[in-house]
Chains A and B, each alone.
Chain A
Amino acid sequence: MEKYHSEQASIVVSSVSKSYTSGKTVVKALDNISFEVEKGSLFGLIGPDGAGKTTLFRILTSLLLFDKGKALVDGFDVISGYKEIRKRIGYMPGRFSLYADLTVQENLNFFASIFETTIDENYDLIKGIYAQIEPFKNRRAGKLSGGMKQKLALSCALIHRPSVLFLDEPTTGVDAVSRKEFWDMLKGLKNEGITILVSTPYMDEANLCDKVALIQSGSILNIDTPHNITHTFSKTIYRIKGRDMQALLLQARQWDFAEQVYPFGEYHHAVIRQQSTELHFPEGVEASRIHPGIEDVFIDLMRNHDQ
C-alpha cells in the first residue's frame, strides 16, 4: 500500500466535491472542499445540519466515494487505502449506532473483538470515560440515557486506540452539562496524541477547538483558529439592550449606521456599516462595543455567501 508522507497533517482534503441526486434535482453536498488537520489537534467542523458535514465524515472514513478531489487520512488515500484506514480510525456516527439489545459490556466487548483487541489492552485510554458507565455495564444500551449512550459510543470508538477519531455531531440534542463534560473528555483524548475531527451545529463549541472550519451549504466559509477567526473579523459589533427588546429590534433595523441587527440572547447585536463614523443610539438604549463571537462571524459569512 502506497503511503503518502506528510509530516504534520493527519487529514488532508484537497478539492473534494460530491453531489447526489434527490428526486430530479442535483444537490451539491460538498463543493470543492480543501483543508488539513494537524496531527494531534482537535479540529472542528462548525455548521448547521445539511451543510455537508456528515457527507464529509463518510468520505474520510472511507464509507463514501466522491466525484472529484483527493483525501488522505493518516497518510492513506481514502479510496485505495480504505483497508488501512479502517484499521486506524475510530468513528462515531451522528446517530446512536450501537446495539440497543446488547448490554454496555457486550457492546464494548464486541467492538473490541472486531478490532482484534480486548478491553484490558486499551483500558487506560477509555478508563476516564468508561468508568462513568461501568456501574451500568449489565444494562442494555437501549435503556441508557442520552449522555451515557454517548459515553458508551465514544468508548467503543476508542477501544482500539485509533490514531484519528471522527465524531459526527456528538453533542447534538445533548444538554449543556453533558456537552461540557464531553468536550472535557475530548481534551483528555487530545493529550493522548489522538487527532480528532469533530462536527457540531453549536457555534459556541468552536472555541473549544484548536482550529475550525465554518461550513455552510457544502462550502467552507472560513478556516482558522477560533481566535483568528474572531479577531480578523473586520466589522464592528455593538450589543444593544432596551426595555422592549422586540420593539428595539424593529427600530434598530431602521438605523442607517447598522448593517444588520439580530437577537443574541439577552442583547441584540448590531453590525455597524463600515463607513459609519458617528453612532447615535437613541435614549434608553444601552449600547456597548463587543468582540465578535464565532456566531457573529458565521452569520456575516453566511449572508455574504448567499448573496
Chain B
Amino acid sequence: MTNKAIIVEKLSKTFNGFKAVDEISFEVGRGEIFGFLGANGAGKTTAMKMLCGLSMPSSGKATVAGFDIYQENESIKKNIGYMSQKFSLYEDLTIRENIRFYAGIYGIRPDIIKTKTVQLLTQLSLEKEADQLVGQLPLGWKQKLAFSVAIFHDPQIVFLDEPTGGVDPITRRDFWNMIYDATAKGITVFVTTHYMDEAEYCDRVSIMVDGQIDALDTPGNLKRLYQAESMDQVFLQIARKAKRTE
C-alpha cells in the first residue's frame, strides 16, 4: 500500500487525432483535497472519466486507490464515490429510497444500511423529510444529500464534478464542511469547481490548459509564484494562455 490515492503518469486520451488529454502526470495523497481546475474544454472531464474507470486512456499509466485503470476498473468503481452537479439522485424516488438504492449497488448489508441511514438523516437533519421525493427538495439539500450518498459506502476516494454550481453561499460553505468531515475520515477528495474561492479550500490545486497540467501546487505557493492576490487572478493568468478554441 502506498500513501498515494491516485498516481497518474503521462496519461493521454486522443479522439480522432485530437489530444483531449495530453500526457498529464500527478499524484494525490491519501486524505488530501485535490482541486482539479481548468477552463471549459481543457480536458478536465475526460481526465476525470478515465480516473473513474469510465473511459479507456489512449496511453500512459494510472492507479486509483491502488488499482490499475486498465486492468482493474471494476475494483476502482467499488472503491470510489462519484457525484456531479448534473447527475446525482433520482428525483422521483424518496430520500430513503435513494439511499437504499445506492447502498444496495455497493452491496452493503441491509442491517448496516439501516443504521447508517438513520445516522445520515440525523446528520443532515432530514429525518422528517426522509419519505419525501428528492425532486421536491431545494437544490442545496439535494447536493448535500448527493454527497452523503456518494460516500455512503466509505470509498477511498470521492470524485466531485462541480458539486456546488448554483448553490447559495451558505449551503456552499456547509457543503465544504462536509468535505472536511469526509477527509477527517480518511477519504481523499478530488474536486472540480468554477468558484475560485473554493480553490483556496483545497490542499493542492492543479490547473489544466489545452489538455496539459500547467500548474500544480498549494494555493499559497501558486499565488506567490504568479504574484497574485487571489486564486482568481492565478487562474486568469494561466487559463488565458489557452490556444485551443475547441
Contacts and interface: CB of A to CB of B under 8 A. Distances in A.
Do A and B share a direct contact in the complex (Cβ within 8 angstroms)?
Answer: yes
Interface of A: 22-23, 25, 47-51, 135-136, 145-148, 169, 172-180, 201-204, 216, 246, 262-266, 295, 298-299, 302-303
Given A146-B40, A264-B197, A298-B168, 18 more contacts: A22-B135, A47-B168, A48-B139, A48-B171, A49-B139, A50-B140, A51-B168, A145-B40, A145-B245, A176-B194, A176-B235, A176-B236, A177-B242, A178-B39, A179-B194, A204-B232, A265-B198, A299-B169
B196 interface: yes
Contacts of A264: 197
Contacts of A136: 245
Interface in B185-215: 194-198, 200-201
A202 B230 CA distance: 16
B60 interface: no
The 6 closest A-B pairs by CB, nearest first: A48-B168, A49-B166, A265-B197, A265-B200, A146-B40, A175-B39
Contacts of B139: 48-50
B38 interface: yes
B200 A178 contact: no
Contacts of B169: 48, 203, 295, 298-299, 302
B166 A172 contact: yes
B231 interface: yes
Contacts of A49: 139, 166-167
Contacts of A265: 196-198, 200-201, 230-231
Contacts of A177: 39, 235-236, 239-240, 242
Nearest to B41: A145
16 contacts: A23-B136, A48-B171, A145-B245, A147-B41, A172-B165, A173-B165, A176-B235, A176-B236, A262-B170, A263-B173, A263-B201, A265-B231, A266-B219, A266-B220, A298-B168, A299-B170
B162 interface: yes
Nearest to A133: B245
A169 B196 CA distance: 18
B226 to A, nearest CB: 14
B180 interface: yes
Nearest to B141: A50
Contact of B168 (A146, A178, A216, A266): A216
A180 B194 CA distance: 12
A298 B172 CA distance: 13
Interface string B147-183: 0000000000000001001111111010010001000
A175 B223 CA distance: 19
Nearest to B230: A265
Contact of A173 (B41, B162, B200, B220): B162
Interface string B219-231: 1100100000011
Nearest to B143: A49
Contacts of B170: 262, 299, 302-303
Contacts of B165: 172-173, 201
Contacts of B232: 176, 204
Nearest to A49: B166
Contacts of B198: 265
Given A263-B201, A295-B169, A180 B236 contact: yes
A48 B133 contact: no
A245 B154 CA distance: 25
Nearest to A94: B166
Given A216-B168, A266-B200, A50 B138 contact: yes
Nearest to B37: A175
Contacts of A169: 166
A175 B40 contact: yes
Contacts of A173: 40, 85, 162, 165, 194
